[in-house]
Amino acid sequence: MARKAQIAKQQKNAKFKTREKNRCKVCGRTHGYMSKYGVCRICFREMAANGEIPGVKKSSW
């Protein structure tokens, strides 16, 4: 249920321009965001382990 709230929050327009944040496209998380991939570090690790990100393979994490 928390993810639904985060995604809904992500889709709302910010009241002020300075409040806009980069958010993970999968879960809506703001911290640990990797701008090159558009996802947070947790989703990045899961996607890399499953082979869903081209050019990235799991190392020893």
The pair of structure tokens assigned to 4 is 């639904």
The annotation status of 27 as a binding-site residue, yes or no, is yes
Query: How confident is the model at residue 4, as a pLDDT?
Result: 66
Q: Residue 24 annotated as binding? A: yes
**How far apart, in Å, are the Cα atoms of 21 and each of 44, 52, 59, 60?**
18, 25, 29, 30
**Mind listing the pLDDT tens digit for each residue in 36-49?**
999 999 999 999 88
Q: Where are the domains of the chain?
A: 4-50
Residue 43 marked as a ligand binder: yes
**What are the tokens at 34?**
């990797």
Which tokens hold the place of 33? 């965001």
Kindly report the pTM of this predicted structure.
0.66
Specify the CATH number for 4-50; select among 3.40.50.300, 3.40.309.10, 4.10.830.10, 3.40.50.10090.
4.10.830.10
